[in-house]
Structure 1
Amino acid sequence: MSFRAVVFAIVVSSLLAACERRSEERAPEEAASLAPIEGFASEVSYEEQVRPVLENRCVVCHGCYDAPCQLLLSSPEGTERGASKEVVYDSSRLLPMTPTRLGIDAHGSAEWRTKGFFSVLGTSGEEGAGEPLVLGMLALGAANRFREGERLPASVGLDIQRELSCARPSEFDAYAREHPQGGMPYATAPLTDEELRTLVSFVKQRPPAPPPTPPTTSETEQVAAWESFLNGASREERIVARYLYEHWFLSHLHFEDAPAGPFFRIVRSRTPSGEPIDEIATVRPTDDPGPVFFYRLRRLDETIVRKTHIVLPLSRDRLETLRSRFLDGSWKATRLPGYRREEATNPFVAFDQLPARSRYEFLLEDARHLVMAFIRGPVCRGQVAVDVIEDHFFVMFLDPDHDLSVKDASFLERAKHLLDLPAEHGNAFLPGELWLEYNLKQRSYLKLRESFYRAGDPKRKGPSLDWIWDGDGRNRNALLTVFRNFDNADVLTGFVGGIPKTAWVMDYPIFERIYYDLVAGYDVFGNVLHQVSTRLYMDHLRMQAEEVFLSFLPADERERIRASWYVGATRQLDFFLFDRLHGIGIGTQVRYRGDDVVAELIEQVLVRTPAVSGPPDGLNRCTAPPCDAEGAGPVQIAVERELRRLASIRGAWVAFMPEASLLRLRAGSEGGDDLVYGLVHNDDHTNVAYMFNEEARRRPALDTLTLVRGHFGNYPNFFFEVEAEAIASFVDALLGVASPDAFAGFVERFGVRRTDARFWPTSDWLRTDLERRDPTEAGLYDLDRFGNF
């Protein structure tokens, strides 16, 4: 690494280090004295007694890469692996860390111990044997309970960047003395005596988890059919299989006749079909797996959490579609793409023999799934990672019949080396050099793109509404909504919410590059240089998607509208040199009547193809009341007519709302008729062009709230629980909030705090309700970011 690179890394890591710190352990002055918790005298069943408690009380905070101390409790293997002091999301590290993916990078306790993990169960022969760390943590939590229903003390940290001790068994006494309120479950309502005794009995008895359910005949046959397809012998089949793998490696795959699972991952194995899978561990899917490997479907035997549950169905129809799209005999491969980093990380080079139209149609067919991969994929956390996008925006796609990168083969042939991505440099790349090298390539690419589109439109008429993909009249992936909630994000089908400030139209090169920048080429274990490079490159891609959207607006309005999106950024040197607006001299064939051209364009897109647009969002965009949902019962109608008063309006009250809340409306004594809504706080910013100092770019007075019918998000920041007949009082009280004290009073009346006796029952009900409504996409909410309101 050059001296200049080292200096830059130190500066950036120093800025980021303020966000992520670990505490230094100090020797205890005296041992903590805690009353032991007794287990059950009789044997406990893992499946019937232990698993429900582990999932509903433990996995809800220990289910992703950002689980405290890397203690993943979503599977028996994770529980046995234990905890680590090393932090995955350490944005100050100068060197990449060794990957610690459960089930991939090591196997068995002995291997994990060599990687710095320590037992929390008091495993025989290991440090702390006979004094399981889990028992100490449970006893500490039971001895220091919080006052029911009250806000937590300020001394109890909840920020995801809070100091973490990650005490080893030998350090527990010091930890307990210094952090008396740091027991388990952390900063929540206490467990019941039965739940505590169940966990204690589990640690002491160690009942075995039952073996995985044997596959059905249908499952075995379908696995064999897909593995046969993915391991075809011809060059064309091998290229297609590699392309699919690189786009599906994060997916949870399931067969169409089993909507609730089991789910599978596609992996590269040293062993062929019919033999036990021996997964090859590479950091990225674009890394070299070696000369001999096989694509396999590996069954997931773990608790499903929503954050990582990116679902894709496999069916015979999908298999035939892939064959006809990619293997119809219309192209011949003369070579196999290599795994040299500069080739493998650029899909326009690696897959240049694969017809671009086939690739783009593949992306469009399951657009939400792939957008979800980079919106809520490997980045379990990270404000710097997702502050590159607005809090709320709509996504559309350029129709393949009008995308010149798809229609004209010479376009990508000339452009492909201008579309290199930062992953080609791994963790040894200087963002300052990216500013020069990649910005120049982006400028050259945009000039090339503009020249192609000008040549194809000599009269400068510009795009028409037909240029926006209509989902072929059937596919609801054509219109998407993205929400960002501070340090994580989610994507929904259709246009949900009020008219956003910005919108995207992605063409094939934008879509593919975003995926390879944020997913296939992203290393969650990488160093600060890699993380910053990825973020800076995504700036270009966001602006390019916005620019395609702007091209559908009147030419004389584009500069003004874009400037309103980038207040305070348009005079920056890189913005002026490399991100200027293109196509100013080209018009648009879309016709407008009023002044709000953004809203008009979105409305025209919505009314063009109702089957793709879906039901109108009467909750947030009701222009002709009452806007009642089709098929809604009287309770839902009454509730939504009141909630609509909160939608997409501005007011002092919005700024006090959590980023993402779940509202449960009780409509019956059993809970089966209860309703649930997402309350999404959309933060307004002057711009999202910078990595740091986001708070200085906030405009709280322009914040809005979006209502989402049903379950929403992955990390709820708060629960509200209201009787359905009291919804008017809830709305009135919220609209009247104008101060922190007023909001605290509102929470006292309608909220479910972490310390509330209803906290765990509400969490349980939400899980059950989600599994009932959507068994395919259901997974545990992560409560680690639940706030202290």
Structure 2
Amino acid sequence: MSLRLTTTAVLSLLTCVAWAQDAAPAISYTRDIQPIFTEKCVACHACYDSACQLNLGSAEGASRGASKALVYDGERSQATPTTRLFYDAFGKQAWQQKGFYSVLDAQGSQAALMARMLELGHNTPLQPNAKLPDEIVLGLNRDNTCAMPGEFNAYAGAHPREGMPLAVTGLTDQQYQTLQRWLAAGASIDEQGLVPSAGEALQVQQWENLFNQPGARESLVARWLYEHLFLAHIYFEGGEPGHFFQWVRSRTPSGQPIDLINTRRPNDDPGTRVYYRLWPVQGVIVHKTHITYPFSTQKMARIKALFYADNWQVNALPGYGPGHRANPFETFEAIPAKARYQFMLDNAEYFVRTFIRGPVCRGQIATDVIRDNFWTLFQDPDHDLYITDARYRGQTTPLLAMPGQIDDVGSVLSLWLKYRDKRNEYEALRRDSYADLPPPGWSTLWAGNDNALLSIFRHFDSASVNKGLIGEIPQTLWLFDFPLLERTYYQLAVNFDVFGNVSHQAQTRLYFDLIRNGAEQNFLRLMPADSRDAFMDDWYQNSGKIKLWMDYEAIDNDKPSGLHLDEKDPKRDFATQLLSRYGDLNASPDPINRCAGAYCSRDGIDPALRDAEQALSRLTARPAAGLKVIEQLPEATMLRIETAGGKREIYSLLRNRAHSNVAFLLGEAYRYQPGLDTLTLYPGVLSSYPNFLFNVPVHDVPAFVSQMEQARDTNQFEAIVDRWGVRRSHPLFWQYFHDLSRYVRETTPVEEGVLDMNRYENL
């Protein structure tokens, strides 16, 4: 009797288990899988520099799979076909025709490539918070082999400790089991694209109506606006949090499904009638490509006032050939120059971000023609000759063409010389024309809103820009006028082709060297005339003298400045007066790096944080010759300071590398001056690519600072990392890493995006 009862009970239990399994909801990609990818994969697998082009920020990207083809390749002789997600193909089959292969599909009796890569990583866990083995290469120097399904065994044999997620604390057991069950069941994807809310749909319609008005001048303005906003992640006044939109060109008008015109560049010939359309940005938002721009009723009124208030006319619409791409000043000369410049000034941070944080600024060669930290200012439209003097505008416009449209490898030198000479002819004309004007004074600088003052930081192989004047007074400052700002934008954003060949990329970056020099020369006109040569000698030391002699137009070292500055240190006096005069516009007051007295912390913060900032300020504005730990630090370190009660503050600790000059694309190591490196520390996340993270309880900050001051070698620095560092292998790595994004959401919600960890170093 008892045996019969036991058997019955067992059968009943098995029936219940089977029923529970049948009743369990199927794994949903949207609900169950994408959140895992977002938490553990997107930090490495997003955007153009995604490993093996495997983009796991969306269902389309996961379905597309991987490719052996490189996007960033500075040595290819021929441009490569574009592979932009959501642009150049749709659906797995279309992508496979472009050379992509699935990571989700099982291969006969073999599990999916992703399943095997995850298993390899799961079976070789890292020692908690230990330094990784040296044989695991990380960062931009890693040679991604991009194993295809049939090559996995060879990959695993050669890289037994390089499963996925790569060289980082991996998936939880639950996440691992969920992904493996999903892959074993066929990796079905329930596609759920972002859909605008009713309020957003109405605003989309209103903006599309504005951009698609009939008429020649309306068409020309719409084209100019599109070319200046195609990279923007548009967000609407009153829109849904996390909803962003992008401008695209379509063959179909508003109200119909978008039929995308996916030309290589936004100013290539569309080959048909164009309708400008807004579509939702799909997939996970990642910080490195998240360049935001606001739309509102006020913005629409501003555009109408700028571009349609005057009775200007268009005789004929321009074409889309190489000449029109090379010189937007000729292409859009019918549009009042003041309207174009003022539109860019209104949101100057956006425009500078497009070329400082955009695709062009990836890799050392792309960024080593700018200083590690500098400030940018803008010339007031009423003091810009290109705006105010039609004769001058007519003389200079033909000289403002930019290279890069012809990518013949054998013509790089001749093209460079041609455009260098055009630019120098323009600089000479500008110099002589401005010499006839009253000396420039404070009214020369635009002060319209808090976009007027910007800080740029280079992090060796990437760069970032923020509102306000952050850090110590930098070695150089840039002053943009309209011709310089527009050329920079077109050269590095509109005309730059990340899929282009070595000739195109070399021409782009060589011309950027001239742009930097032009911005420096503009600023020097504010300095006393007899100090300008000394500044140039300081900025272009050693080999830089060759560039001054060979490639740059001579500066004006004769006509006076209209500013009254201390002759002993005019640049510092200028910066001091600038901070005083434009204090209301300075979005980033910075007592930590520019401590003017006994108190080196922000006002109105928690007393414990105030004391922490006071201690941390001892690390700033000191040369590495006296603060040896700088030699051990990467470019962008994050400090997470924990206060009582579980609160925290995030700071960026940025290493500013010093160079004798930044006038060349190659040979940076020969121009490096390590003893002059300094640190900038500022609240917030000032890089899309954190290189390391320290988590320091607030009561430990004095000890942390003291050990940093005393660390003089690798062993002493490693002791700091052991105590406070969050290595890739830290059990709470992902919690701390994503807390950086949470901090951005709390402080500037619209800017939140998943940060990139490809450059997170193995300290």
Query: 1:94 aligns to what?
Result: 77
**Aligned match for 2:312, one of 299, 324, 331:** 331
Looking at structure 2, the residues matched to 155 and 170 of structure 1 have their Cα atoms a distance apart, in angstroms, of: 24
Query: 1:62 aligns to what?
Result: 45
Pairwise CA distance, 1:594 = 5.1
Looking at structure 1, the residues matched to 479 and 755 of structure 2 have their Cα atoms a distance apart, in angstroms, of: 31
Looking at structure 2, the residues matched to 217 and 258 of structure 1 have their Cα atoms a distance apart, in angstroms, of: 10
Query: 1:518 aligns to what?
Result: 492
Looking at structure 1, the residues matched to 218 and 410 of structure 2 have their Cα atoms a distance apart, in angstroms, of: 34
Pairwise CA distance, 1:197 = 1.1
Please say if 1:591 is aligned against 2:567: no
Looking at structure 2, the residues matched to 353 and 423 of structure 1 have their Cα atoms a distance apart, in angstroms, of: 24
SS in 1 for 2:33: helix
Gaps of 5+ in 2: 1-22
SS in 1 for 2:451: helix
Pairwise CA distance, 1:628 = 3.5
Looking at structure 1, the residues matched to 35 and 545 of structure 2 have their Cα atoms a distance apart, in angstroms, of: 56
Q: Is the 8 A contact 1:547 1:581 kept in 2?
A: no
Please say if 1:414 is aligned against 2:395: yes
SS in 1 for 2:584: helix
Give the aligned length: 738
Looking at structure 2, the residues matched to 393 and 508 of structure 1 have their Cα atoms a distance apart, in angstroms, of: 19
Please say if 1:468 is aligned against 2:445: yes
SS in 2 for 1:267: strand
Percent identity, please: 39
Query: 1:190 aligns to what?
Result: 170
Query: 1:4 aligns to what?
Result: none
Please give the TM-score of this superposition, normalised by the length of structure 2: 0.94
Q: Is the 8 A contact 2:636 2:692 kept in 1?
A: yes
**Aligned match for 1:49, one of 29, 32, 35:** 32
- Decide whether aligned partners of structure 1 residues 627 and 152 sit closer, same or farther in structure 2, where only a CA change above 3 A counts: closer
Question: What amino acid does structure 1 have at the position aligned with 2:184?
Answer: K
Question: What amino acid does structure 2 have at the position aligned with 1:469?
Answer: W
Looking at structure 2, the residues matched to 129 and 239 of structure 1 have their Cα atoms a distance apart, in angstroms, of: 58
Gaps of 5+ in 1: 1-39
Looking at structure 2, the residues matched to 423 and 321 of structure 1 have their Cα atoms a distance apart, in angstroms, of: 33
Pairwise CA distance, 1:129 = 7.7
Structure 1 range deviating more: 262-271 or 445-454? 445-454
Q: Is the 8 A contact 2:428 2:553 kept in 1?
A: no
- Decide whether aligned partners of structure 1 residues 43 and 291 sit closer, same or farther in structure 2, where only a CA change above 3 A counts: closer
Question: What amino acid does structure 2 have at the position aligned with 1:197?
Answer: Q
Q: Is the 8 A contact 2:361 2:463 kept in 1?
A: no
Please say if 1:667 is aligned against 2:650: no
Pairwise CA distance, 1:685 = 0.7
- Deviations, residues 135-184 of structure 1 (Å, cap 9, x unaligned): 00011111222222111111100131322210100111111111111200
Pairwise CA distance, 1:204 = 2.9
Q: Is the 8 A contact 1:427 1:526 kept in 2?
A: no
**Aligned match for 1:658, one of 610, 634, 650:** 634
Query: 1:215 aligns to what?
Result: 196
- Decide whether aligned partners of structure 1 residues 46 and 492 sit closer, same or farther in structure 2, where only a CA change above 3 A counts: same
Counterpart mapping for 1:636-655 below 5 A: 636-650=609-623, 651-655=627-631
Q: Is the 8 A contact 1:661 1:717 kept in 2?
A: yes
Q: Is the 8 A contact 2:640 2:649 kept in 1?
A: yes
Query: 1:396 aligns to what?
Result: 377
Query: 2:139 aligns to what?
Result: 159
Question: What amino acid does structure 1 have at the position aligned with 2:156?
Answer: A
Q: Is the 8 A contact 2:29 2:189 kept in 1?
A: yes
Question: What amino acid does structure 2 have at the position aligned with 1:253?
Answer: I
- Deviations, residues 361-420 of structure 1 (Å, cap 9, x unaligned): 111110000000000112362211111100000000111111101111222211112111
Please say if 1:168 is aligned against 2:148: yes
Query: 2:129 aligns to what?
Result: 149
Query: 2:87 aligns to what?
Result: 104
Query: 1:21 aligns to what?
Result: none
Looking at structure 2, the residues matched to 427 and 495 of structure 1 have their Cα atoms a distance apart, in angstroms, of: 41
Counterpart mapping for 1:36-435 below 5 A: 43-122=26-105, 131-205=111-185, 206-209=187-190, 211-212=192-193, 214-258=195-239, 260-379=241-360, 381-426=362-407, 430-435=411-416
Structure label with greater radius of gyration: 2
Counterpart mapping for 1:683-694 below 5 A: 683-694=657-668
Looking at structure 2, the residues matched to 213 and 785 of structure 1 have their Cα atoms a distance apart, in angstroms, of: 30
Query: 2:533 aligns to what?
Result: 559
Q: Is the 8 A contact 1:663 1:678 kept in 2?
A: yes
- Decide whether aligned partners of structure 1 residues 230 and 468 sit closer, same or farther in structure 2, where only a CA change above 3 A counts: same
- Deviations, residues 738-776 of structure 1 (Å, cap 9, x unaligned): 111111111111111111112122123223332232220
Query: 1:730 aligns to what?
Result: 704
Query: 1:16 aligns to what?
Result: none
Q: Is the 8 A contact 1:121 1:133 kept in 2?
A: yes
Counterpart mapping for 1:453-532 below 5 A: 453-457=434-438, 462-471=439-448, 475-532=449-506
Pairwise CA distance, 1:207 = 4.8
- Deviations, residues 644-672 of structure 1 (Å, cap 9, x unaligned): 11111122111211110111111245x4x
Q: Is the 8 A contact 1:96 1:427 kept in 2?
A: no
Q: Is the 8 A contact 1:430 1:533 kept in 2?
A: no
Q: Is the 8 A contact 2:590 2:682 kept in 1?
A: no
Question: What amino acid does structure 1 have at the position aligned with 2:629?
Answer: W
Superposed CA RMSD: 1.8
SS in 1 for 2:176: helix
Query: 1:576 aligns to what?
Result: 549
- Decide whether aligned partners of structure 1 residues 209 and 770 sit closer, same or farther in structure 2, where only a CA change above 3 A counts: farther
- Deviations, residues 511-533 of structure 1 (Å, cap 9, x unaligned): 01011111101000000111111
- Decide whether aligned partners of structure 1 residues 427 and 769 sit closer, same or farther in structure 2, where only a CA change above 3 A counts: farther
Structure 1 range deviating more: 624-633 or 177-186? 624-633
SS in 2 for 1:425: coil
- Decide whether aligned partners of structure 1 residues 115 and 309 sit closer, same or farther in structure 2, where only a CA change above 3 A counts: same
Please give the TM-score of this superposition, normalised by the length of structure 1: 0.91
- Decide whether aligned partners of structure 1 residues 571 and 674 sit closer, same or farther in structure 2, where only a CA change above 3 A counts: closer
Q: Is the 8 A contact 1:555 1:587 kept in 2?
A: yes
Q: Is the 8 A contact 2:530 2:558 kept in 1?
A: no
- Deviations, residues 231-266 of structure 1 (Å, cap 9, x unaligned): 011111111111111111111001011273310010
Looking at structure 2, the residues matched to 599 and 429 of structure 1 have their Cα atoms a distance apart, in angstroms, of: 46
Question: What amino acid does structure 1 have at the position aligned with 2:239?
Answer: A
Looking at structure 2, the residues matched to 147 and 454 of structure 1 have their Cα atoms a distance apart, in angstroms, of: 66
Pairwise CA distance, 1:52 = 2.0
Please say if 1:545 is aligned against 2:519: yes
Pairwise CA distance, 1:65 = 0.5
Question: What amino acid does structure 1 have at the position aligned with 2:377?
Answer: M
Question: What amino acid does structure 1 have at the position aligned with 2:643?
Answer: A
Pairwise CA distance, 1:491 = 0.2
Pairwise CA distance, 1:271 = 1.1
SS in 1 for 2:463: strand
Q: Is the 8 A contact 1:248 1:266 kept in 2?
A: yes
Question: What amino acid does structure 2 have at the position aligned with 1:656?
Answer: Q
Looking at structure 1, the residues matched to 757 and 526 of structure 2 have their Cα atoms a distance apart, in angstroms, of: 41
Query: 2:581 aligns to what?
Result: 608
